[in-house]
Amino acid sequence: MSKKDQVQGEGDYKSAEKFDKAERDFVKSGGVEKASHKAEPKSDEEAREMLRAEKIGRSHSKGEDKGVAANDGAADLDADE
């Protein structure tokens, strides 16, 4: 069995390559912009609920990725509660 066919972690090299290609194709297709607009909150209440959910998720995190900008508004949620 070649290294390329061996299972690693939760998947295998062939599946990882297939996923990576599909993801690159999706980004190139312009689908990211459309999906981001579709995922936007439909009301102020939904926006607050999304921020609450994110805050809960982040409370379980070990910290922010140093390469990601943290400009999400979740810190402002405390002022609303």
**pTM > 0.95: yes or no:** no
Q: Do the Cβ atoms of 64 and 70 come closer than 8 Å?
A: yes
CA distance 80 to 37: 24
- Sorted by where each begins, the domain ranges of the chain are 15-59
Q: What is the pLDDT of residues 23-80, one digit of tens each?
A: 999 999 999 999 999 999 999 999 999 999 999 998 988 877 777 765 555 555 544 4
> What tokens does 80 get?
């609303």
Token pair listed for 21 = 């290609």
